[in-house]
Structure 1
Amino acid sequence: MDSRQWRSTIAAAQAGDRHALDQLVAGWLPLVYNIVGRALNGHADVDDVVQETMLRAVGNIGALRDPDSFRSWLVAIAMRQIRERARRRTSEPLAGDAADRAADFAELTVLRLQLEGQRREVAEAVRWLDDEDRQLLSLWWLEVAGELTRRELAAAVGISRQHAAVRVQRMKARLEVARGIIRALEGSCPELAAVTARWDGRPGSVWRKRLARHIRGCPVCAGAEKAVVPAERLLAGIALVPVPAGFALSLALGGKTSAAAVSVGWSAKVLGALTKPAVVVTAGATIAAGGAYVVTRTPQAPPAPQISPTAASTARPPAHTPPSLLPSPSTAAPTPSKTADLYGTVVDAVDNAPAANVPPGPLPHRPESGITSSGGPRTVMQHRGESVTLRGQGYVLVRWYIAPAHRPGNLVMPAWTGLKGKLFHVASGGGRRMDDPLVGSPGGYATGMGGPTIGYAVLPAGTQQMWQNEYFYLDGSVTLTLNEHGCDYGVTVFPSSWDAVDKDIRTGPAQGVIRYGMVRDNGKDTAPVPQYVTRATPADPATVPQRSRV
């Protein structure tokens, strides 16, 4: 939502609108979860602190005078709960024992956001910070990622902006020291091996200082400081770590199992807080469903569809494409097949990409009332069987990460199942197709279809070559399931908008960008539908045939 819509939603929640309160809880739970999770680094108390934060926010929303200050007010509540938790446990450091840790948040950040290289290094360096620095970093991380402002950071900590700037600089200095330690530990310095011989492998301030002293005086370890990108540049625009479904369930049910939820419902504590005047929520609210995220646009009459030919050209496949990725003779040309009594076409053939310097045709603007995602604003799926359910009317981005360097082989494509309504494959973008070489990466390949030195990701015969970003338009509901088996890959699913799609596909060749995107949508119901989509709900989504039945 934009700021105007949030203000309206907050005002409605204060007036007792149950749906509006559901939207607030669903929309802001990921932010609170990331702040608390990173501040406590995944300690088992994360669940309790997040629950207390949301309960206090819901219970006191009627006292909020200025809807524009809702985010800073909510963040301040979260920080107070973190500090209160620290005061209650003064005899036990926040780092805690391994047995008292639900999940290492640094590792969770790396895995769920698929961070690599120096971004991964920054996430792992958080383990080496003291409690106070980690609390500040939990806010600063979101500031540089575009989720918070410096004013909100300072207000949450309870200091002036000038003081906040000083505190942030000191914290960043210690974060850079921790990054240097990580690089040094990955090296082969014999003196460092001797220094760490008695180290138990657990990061902490004492060992951070010892290792930092060694690195400053060691020519081998100090050499790792070269070509280091500042942390704020690495974190700019980075996603929030998605809220785990199991976590959201315990939040809503007070720790009860899903089986108990059927007969018992919400815990008395939660129900008591949510049934006060002006903050009533139904027992089937979004908070119990795992948290949904809605991208909403003001209803408007879309412009008349601009019908244009697909931006595909007759350009030949890239020269580096391995034989296993080229179309077979029987599928060498796109062969649309249309069922007269249903909508859409399914292209069951490899399609050629436009040349890098060919802008796409106009993208028809379809109506957008908003998409609700069961996985939040960014659903990261990396393992077979993970899924996300999308509902509403609007655009959806599926971003691909293929890693044949980890495990090459045949790809088992994701499947769209349980379709109700209509689903179109409207555009492809992200700057490159997945079989484009990435300049500057080892062997010319990074996340993509692979290469001769690492092996290839091989598509099923006749499958369209996917781009880094694939865009779809939904008017109804559908579930997307990851069927990873064979080649290593993952996808991230984002509710999006026409503006975002149009901007992406029109980003022309530039540094690090290989080509414009392409438009697939013709603005009519005869526009292409995704491959591997069905209205059925098979027990194993991997069995959905390529030639979709819609």
Structure 2
Amino acid sequence: MDSEQWRAVITAAQAGDRRALDELVAGWLPLVYNIVGRALNGHADVDDVVQETMLRAVGNLGSLRDPDSFRSWLVAIAMRQIRDRARRKTPDRLEEAPASDFADLTVLRLQLEGQRREVAEAVRWLDDEDRRLLSLWWLEVAGELTRRELAAAVGITRQHAAVRVQRMKERLETSRGIVRALDGACPGLREVTGRWDGRPDSVWRKRLARHIRGCGYCGDTREAVVPAERLLVGIALVPLPVGFTLSLAFGGKTAVAATSAGWSKLLGALTKPAVAVTASATIVAGGAFVVTQPPDAPPPRAAVTPTATATSEPPPSAGPTSTPTSTPTSTPSPSAKRKTDPYGTVVDAVDRAPDPDARPAALPRRPESGITSTGGPRAVMQHRGDSVTLSGQGYVLVRWQISPHARPGAVVMPTWTGLKGKLFHVASGGSRRMDDPLPGAPNGYVTGMGGPDIGYAVLPPGTQQMWQNEYFYLDGTVTLNQNERGCDYGIAVSPSNRDAVVKDVNEGPADGALRYGLVRDTGTDSAPVPQYLTRSAPADPATVPQRSRV
């Protein structure tokens, strides 16, 4: 949701709307879970602290004057509960092992590899105070929090926050070096760690760091060390574990305290023996319960499920893509007068290559207020796990480079996840499709998808053929994920504009290229929706189904 939609949900929840409260709790629970889980590194108290945070937020929602400050208010509550938990720790609780190592959960659920995995595992070596700060800074870098919200949650000024973050980052980099060294085979390090019990702590962090600084083997970094903030940009939230249950029960003194803030109407609804189900949360008798589903769990079935019929892409001379016919699987009653939003009902299919000399249709005009990218002006994604989050209103260029000569095989397609708003596939350019033959090349060699002498890149069944340049129009926020496994490929992602798209698609054979481009935009919500697109944020983005309905 955008800020206006969340403001409406918060206002409705404050007014006693049970469904709005359900949506509010379900929407912000992952953020709280990530803050608490990372701050406590998966300690057994994580569930209790998360529950207490959400209970206090729900119980005091009526006191929130400005809905726009909800996120910073919620984060501050979470940090206060984390600090309170630290003050309540007893000696026996200090020795208690984590219920589940959050570093491992981060690596496994987000499929982190290489230096991203190294950063997640380095968190184990930080002190409690640094972990609490890192839990917020990680989300700031990932685009989930602002620096102002981070400083407010910690209770310090932005200037002081900058100093604290810098010191924490220095200790994080030291810890990354330890993780890297422990993965090596230094005989001197094995001798140093002979009496180590395997549990990271500040004492051993200092000992190991001292060894690394004086060791030629451990200090010899065999690859460029990427700054942590660059590695964390665009990383999604760690999803809630399957079966995680949040119980916000209201009864006795808790209910009385809440009703004093004007919650009698809401609590009356919460305590009725009724069940209200949404996609990710459930309200039941005696309180609010949020129960997570597996990433591939089917959404609740609606009374009418439209099934879009895929059609082949017409050549450019025929104009923009037409809207496929939707056929309902069941007939609604005559009394049901529900307005249907056509967005998301278009399904792209395997398309045929248009004539190289056919000029593209005119590109409709759409509003352009600008696109911001967590990857900067041009994000190059070469490896599985790379991602970039795009926000705003305007055009985006995704430029392909497939390398079957480096590693042929099946292409695991990039996926669009966490969509808030709308995303359209508006045009294809770059002077050629990836399956266009290179003139004069023997044996039908193709420039993009490979050839008999180097092997081929193979697309999954039903995948629309890519062009060198693919253009999309975004009105909202979405994350593009590189899922490379099998055939080697890279994609460069950059904000663009309508003029650049028009110029690209009209650079045809007269300019020495293979073909003109293709306009797919209808100018309406019936324009094609990209394949491999979802509003959810699955733990493994590569599992997003090949479909264009959102």
1:162-205, Cα deviation, whole Å (9 max, x unpaired): 33233222211110100111121222322112222333333222
Could you tell me which residue of structure 2 aligns to residue 104 of structure 1? Answer: 101
Tell me the equivalent position of 1:37: 37
Q: What does the per-residue CA deviation read over 1:276-315, in whole Å, with 9 as the maximum and x for residues that have no partner?
A: 42544654265326479xxxxxxxxxxxxxxxx98989xx
**Counterpart code for 1:24:** L
CA distance, structure 2, for counterparts of residue 54 and residue 64 of structure 1: 14
Structure 1 letter corresponding to 2:175:
A
1:360 Cα deviation from its structure 2 partner: 10
Q: Identify which of 226, 232, 235 aligns with 1:235.
A: 232
The 3-state SS of whatever aligns with 2:217 is helix
**Residue 146 (structure 1) aligns with:** 143
Matched, 1:212 2:209: yes
Cα shift readout 1:492-522 (whole Å, capped 9, x = no counterpart): xxxxxxxx9989x96999xxxxxxx975443
8 Å CA contact 1:128, 1:178 repeated in 2: yes
TM-score, normalised to structure 1's length?
A: 0.57
For 1:251, the equivalent position in structure 2 comes to: 246
Matched with 2:373 is none
Which of 48-57 and 283-292 deviates more? 283-292
Which amino acid is the alignment partner of residue 89 of structure 2? Answer: R
1:347 aligns with 2:349: yes
- Aligned-partner Cα distance in 2 for 1:171–1:126: 11
8 Å contact 2:349–2:464 — kept in the other structure?
yes
Task: Tell me the C-alpha RMSD between the 2 structures.
Answer: 5.8
Q: Verify the 8 A CA contact 2:429 2:518 in the aligned structure 1.
A: no
Q: Give SS of 2:238's match.
A: coil
Letter in 1 for 2:156: I
Aligned counterparts, 1:361-510, within 5 A: 362=363, 426=425, 458-460=458-460, 463-465=463-465
CA contact (8 A) 1:146 1:236 kept: yes
Contact 1:62–1:278 (CA<8 Å) still a contact in 2? no
Match of 1:20 in 2: 20
AA aligned to 1:132 is E
Give the length in aligned residue pairs.
405
Unaligned runs of 5+ in 2: 283-289, 294-312, 329-344, 368-399, 415-421, 436-447, 475-482, 488-494, 505-516, 534-544
* 1:408/1:488 contact within 8 Å kept: yes
Matched residues in 1 for 2:163 and 2:423: separation? 50
Equivalent-residue separation in structure 2 for 1:84 and 1:430 (angstroms): 57
Q: What are the Cα deviations for residues 65-89 of structure 1, in whole angstroms up to 9, with x where unaligned?
A: 3333322221111011112222232
Taking the aligned partners of 2:424 and 2:161, their CA distance within structure 1 comes to 46
Query: CA contact under 8 A between 1:140 and 1:168: conserved in structure 2?
Result: yes
Amino acid at match of 2:56: R
Quick one: which amino acid aligns to residue 277 of structure 1?
S
> Partner amino acid for 2:264?
P
Q: Residues 274-353 of structure 1 correspond to what in structure 2 (within 5 A)?
A: 276-277=263-264, 279-280=266-267, 283-284=275-276, 286=278, 287-288=281-282, 290=291, 347-348=349-350
Query: How has the CA–CA distance of structure 1 residues 45 and 126 changed in structure 2, closer, same or farther, with 3 Å as cutoff?
Result: same
CA contact (8 A) 1:53 1:81 kept: yes
Instruction: Assess, with a 3 A threshold, how the Cα gap between structure 1 residues 165 and 245 changes in structure 2: closer, same or farther.
Output: same
Asked if structure 1 preserves the Cα contact closer than 8 Å seen for 2:118 and 2:179, the reply is yes
1:56 deviation in Å? 0.5
Q: Alpha-carbon deviation of 1:48? A: 1.6
Distance 1:528 1:136, change over 3 A: closer
Q: CA deviation at 1:60?
A: 0.8
User: Residue type matched to 2:349 in 1?
Assistant: V
- What is the CA–CA distance in structure 1 between the aligned matches of 2:161 and 2:109, rounded to whole Å? 29
Q: CA offsets, 1:319-376, max 9 Å, x none?
A: xxxxxxxxxxxxxxxxx9977989967634576999xxx999736879xxxxxxxxxx
User: Following superposition of structure 1 onto structure 2, how do residues 55-204 of structure 1 map, counting pairs within 5 Å?
Assistant: 55-92=55-92, 96-97=96-97, 100-101=98-99, 103-204=100-201
Q: 1:507 to 1:267 in 2, by over 3 A?
A: farther
Q: Deviations over 1:420-442 (max 9, x none)?
A: xxx998458999x9989xxxxxx
**Alpha-carbon separation, structure 1, partners of 2:151 and 2:62:** 24
Q: Which amino acid aligns with 2:159?
A: Q
Match of residue 386 from structure 1: none
Aligned letter for 1:108? Answer: L
Aligned counterparts of 1:251 and 1:471: Cα–Cα separation in 2? 38
Q: 1:377: which partner in 2?
A: none
Letter in 2 for 1:162: Q
Question: Post-superposition shift, 1:224?
Answer: 1.9
Answer yes or no: is the 8 Å Cα contact 1:426–1:471 preserved in 2: yes
Give the secondary structure class of the aligned counterpart of 1:277: helix
Letter of the aligned partner of 1:125 in structure 2? A
- Conserved in 1, the CA contact under 8 Å of 2:35 and 2:136? yes
Identify the residue that residue 304 of structure 2 maps to in structure 1.
none
Q: Quick one: percent identity of the two aligned structures?
A: 65
In 2, are the aligned partners of 1:7 and 1:67 still within 8 Å (CA)?
Answer: yes
Greater displacement, 177-186 / 222-231: 222-231
In structure 2, distance between residues paired with 1:284 and 1:470: 40
Amino acid in structure 2 at the alignment position of 1:176: E
Q: Is the 8 A contact 1:13 1:20 kept in 2?
A: yes
What is the CA-CA distance between 1:527 and the residue it aligns to? 6.2
Identify the residue that residue 386 of structure 2 maps to in structure 1.
none
User: Please, which runs of 5 or more residues in structure 1 have no aligned partner?
Assistant: 255-265, 293-308, 314-335, 367-399, 415-422, 437-447, 474-483, 490-499, 510-516, 534-544
- The one-letter amino acid paired with 1:30 is P
Q: Over residues 392-416 of structure 1, what are the superposed CA-to-partner deviations in whole Å (9 max), with x where a residue is unaligned?
A: xxxxxxxx9x9x9xx99768999xx
Question: Does the 8 Å contact 2:427/2:521 carry over to 1?
Answer: no
Quick one: distance in 2 between partners of 1:364 and 1:95? Answer: 63
Return the offset for 1:50.
0.9
